[in-house]
Chains A and B, each alone.
Chain A
Amino acid sequence: MNKDKLSTAGRTDYQVVGTRPPRHDAPDKLTGRALFGPDTNLPGMLYGKMVRSPHAHARLRSIDTRHAASYPGVYAVVTAQDLQLTEESNSTLDESAVNFKYLHENMLAREKVLYVGHPVAAVAASSPHVAEEAAKLVEVQYDVLPAVTDVRAAMKPDAPLLHDRLITQSLSKPSQRPSNIASHFQHLKGDPSQGFARAEVIVEREFTTSTVHQGYIEPHACTAWWGLDGNLTVWTSTQGAFGMRDQLAKLLSHPMSRIRVIPMEVGGAFGGKLPIYIFLEAVAALLSRKANRPVKMTMTRAEVFLATNPTSGAYLKAKMGVTREGRITAAQAELYFEAGAYPSAHVIGYFGFAMAFMFAPYDIPHGQVDAYDVVVNKPRTAAYRAPGVTQVNFPAEQLIDELAVKLGMDPIAFRLKNVVREGTELMNGTTHGSIGAEEVLRAAQSSAHYGSPLHGPHRGRGVAHGYWGNWGARSCCTISVNGDGTVSLVSGSIDLSGTRTTVAMQAAEVLGLSLDRIKSSVGDTDSIGYTEMSGGSRTTFATGIAAITAAQDVVAQMRGRAALLWGVEVRDVSFERGVFTTQRGSEQQMTFSEVAGRLAETGGAVTGTGNVDPQGWGGVFGTHIVDVQVDPETGKVDILRYTAVQDVGKAVHPGYVEGQMQGGAVQGIGWGLYEGYQYNTRGDMLNPGFLGYKIPTAPDVPMIETIMVEVPGPNHPFGVRGVGEVPIVPPPAALANAIYRATGVRVTDLPMTPVRILEAMGVI
């Protein structure tokens, strides 16, 4: 994108950006009118239900669907036999983001089931209850195999093999024998042995983190209608309508133009509804084609836990060395991530994030990070808000805290002594661009919270600091001018938490219109250009640039119309804050609305388009401060005070930025203290519900104080950076550091439950 074109560059006297207007979608969501994934109702609609494996690891011997198919009210039954494997989908060495063989097998098992809940068949029936009854009539014969659900056990030479032909891709070289280790990557910077030789204090520990779920309250749900004309329409709750369409096209060998994905409101996603994986939509489509009716599929909460895409548990080893003056000389880590049943789809991306960002907040001359992707008999894992980074921040920031204690330094002062700046090289060989690492740490240091005293027994204050790199990628936005001077803005970005508004606010700034004159909506795949999924904190940044570009296109076209009306050259028409002016001849002015009212007589409609793929998005830092009190008898952790400090670029809507910081922090608190999949030796998940898998409730947390530090992003006209992900990164480490200062013991396993805290304290 040509930055010179952006008339708004460098301006700070914003009219709309930086204000707190109400959301476009709020009235519908407050009155119950908003339609989410499960809210589709069509005439003649059937209800689909998956048949799922009760075993964590088994070979499929046979599937008999005859009884289910003849059950009254059943219209269709499908198995993996109904999914045609294409040549591409047979490839096991697909270098693209998605391995279609695995995607197929995860959707409907073909030879083996690899986790409890793995789908083996599906039925469509006249009611959800009939579908449930019919699903029980599908007879499946299994040869049960031993299961392995722990990353360390899965790496042992005698571990049960999930995939008979899985060859480790180790540093680009294949291994000799099959194993559960799908891949091994390494980042190396400088000479770590030399770095550790120079160190005067070295700390080294092992850590574990549990499998955790994104925990969106809306279960996955979709409705598919495959018409006799070959047109397939899918209503679904997804983070990416186009990604979903393209995946369906490949899975079903169907032209993209014949598939229309209509995105519904999304009831929480956090990476768990990226279209990288498909659970229901293709199956609902197959059922619909067979039944010649629309088919709705909705997961139960147990199905969401058992058979969607939680994020990896991990076994982590980390080591850091420092001089007596407090300069970090070297860092090293080994990261063993549970991939779940299939190798990670985004192997390079996912582990790239963890490997590159683990030590990204610090200027460390020598380092090495090795990461392993290991399959286990659990559901396939996927992204969860800043994917991979919360897990590795937990060890990194505990070691930093431990070093600060050993050196007798203030933990923020120690971090500042090693802070990264523009040009500092990361472990992956890239360098930091324009960043706000130092500004964020200084804001934390001078915060009211950090300056306040904390008295009382069993209390402690912890700090942690983390980084997330954000994303850009393709976005499309169109703006159509209406005759009354209002505009209709459509973008392809799924709105997860207010981006309809933050995108429209940026267009409003360019058009000089008040926000209430912009109707902002999300298009379906037939109505707007290709737009990447909402993820990587990209939407307000990238789709914002698309909206700015579309608005500039509108202004350019309307300057032409004004020129026509005045009989002057386009270059003689200027535009400022919603008013067109010419100095040619006598000075004349027309408002945006006045020109809009005369489009019909000057050449027809005006629609501005922004199709962008912006690069150079800026990463962000978050520093969290937490005060806890630990009950020495029960091990319960009470959070007394919590402050999140963050580099936010330019906060387009400060209220929503605060909301991202608060929500991310509380998810991180859940990860730190409560959440984790529990398994028995057979591989059954023991807590597939919100009763056993506890997420934070309102009484568990205090108000979350927020401090937004505006260090403009370098490649957005208003300085926008992504803000949504980094707030989940520091909380577990901040809590661990606070617990250490309250109790004198380090808890190195997540979640830090009362039992684990009491064990660490030697009480039990």
Chain B
Amino acid sequence: MAAKTRVSAKINGEQVEFLCEPRQSLLECLRDVLGLTGSKEGCNDGNCGACSVLLNGRVVNSCLVLGVEVHGQEVTTVEGLADWRGLHPLQQAFLDNAALQCGYCIPGILITSKALLDREPNPSEERIRTWLAGNLCRCTGYDKIVRAVQDAAVRLRQTGQEVNR
């Protein structure tokens, strides 16, 4: 076992420090070291998107990032979307549109959708589908997921609420 490295990063708005082996992925660090099991492993090779997180605002597959790489960086996981005031408008839109079934892919899909809506407040159906191309869902057939993202975009535009609240 290689010596562990100290990593300091801002995770979901909070400055944290943790120790990890150089070979541990960010996903392993989040799940096994920090106890943030919201990000899911579906393939561990970058093809399913269930582990999607925001790294400095960009969507990454956390299984393809090493834990040591996030030193000094900012990471947002699904656990960082809701706060004590309640669900994020995206999460509420998924709830209201029955856009989840088993729910395993949903953390990654929420993260990717947030990144999209942060950049494009009024995306077309095609844009939403293109952005979600890297997030596999086996239950829903994507219909209600796409509708939920469309609905969330409307809500966010109507309320003028910052997605990055």
Contact = CB atoms under 8 A, between A and B. Distances in A.
Given A20-B98, A23-B98, A129-B23, A659 B140 contact: yes
A352 interface: no
B136 A697 contact: yes
Interface string B39-75: 1111111011010000000000000000000000000
Given A268-B138, A699-B133, A690 B98 contact: no
A698 B128 contact: yes
Contacts of A41: 32, 35, 37
A31 B102 CA distance: 14
A30 interface: yes
Contacts of A218: 40, 42, 102, 104
Contacts of A760: none
Contacts of A653: 98
A267 B136 CA distance: 12
Contacts of B128: 698
A659 B106 contact: no
A666 B36 CA distance: 31
B11 interface: no
Interface stretch (A32-40, A370-378, A605-613, A616-624): A32-40
Contact of B45 (A36, A265, A659, A691): A691
A496 B143 contact: no
Contact of B43 (A30, A214, A267, A690): A690
Contacts of B144: 655, 658-659, 662
B106 A29 contact: yes
A119 to B, nearest CB: 19
Contacts, number: 191
A640 to B, nearest CB: 14
A32 B77 contact: yes
A267 B141 contact: no
A653 B101 CA distance: 13
B133 A697 contact: yes
Contact of B130 (A214, A662, A690, A699): A699
A30 B91 contact: yes
B163 interface: no
A695 B95 contact: no
Contacts of B139: 268, 497, 659, 663
Interface in A121-175: 127-130
Interface in B83-111: 87, 91, 94-98, 100-107, 110
A451 B79 CA distance: 47
A244 to B, nearest CB: 18
A325 to B, nearest CB: 39
Among B44, B103, B133, max chain A CB count under 10 A is at B103
A31 B78 CA distance: 6
Interface string A265-278: 11111100000000
Contacts of B81: 31
A632 to B, nearest CB: 24
Contacts of A298: 41
A539 B37 CA distance: 28
B1 A690 contact: no
Interface residues of B, number: 63
Interface string B1-44: 10000000000000000000101100010011001111111111
Given A265-B102, A267-B103, A698-B133, A35 B141 contact: no
B48 A26 contact: no
Given A697-B133, A698-B142, A216 B102 contact: yes
A217 B104 contact: yes
A269 B138 CA distance: 9
B146 A39 contact: no
Contacts of A662: 140-141, 143-144
B39 A219 contact: no
B1 to A, nearest CB: 7
A31 B38 contact: yes
Contact of A30 (B28, B40, B95): B95
B8 to A, nearest CB: 22
A598 interface: no
Contacts of A38: 37, 40-41
B102 A267 contact: yes
B108 to A, nearest CB: 9
Contacts of A270: 138
Nearest to A706: B143
B111 to A, nearest CB: 10
A26 B143 contact: no
B38 A663 contact: no
Contacts of A187: none
Contact of B94 (A30, A216, A269, A658): A30
Among B37, B87, B91, max chain A CB count under 10 A is at B37
A142 B68 CA distance: 40
A655 B82 CA distance: 24
Contacts of A73: 1
Nearest to A40: B37
Interface in A381-430: none
Contacts of B79: 31-33
Nearest to A703: B143
Given A26-B100, A267-B42, 13 more contacts: A31-B81, A36-B104, A216-B102, A217-B42, A217-B138, A267-B103, A270-B138, A301-B44, A301-B48, A663-B138, A666-B141, A698-B130, A704-B143
Interface of B: 1, 21, 23-24, 28, 31-32, 35-45, 47-48, 50, 77-79, 81-82, 87, 91, 94-98, 100-107, 110, 125-126, 128-130, 132-147
Interface of A: 20, 22-23, 25-27, 29-36, 38-39, 41, 73, 127-130, 214-219, 265-270, 298, 300-301, 496-498, 653, 655-656, 658-659, 662-667, 689-691, 695-699, 701, 703-704
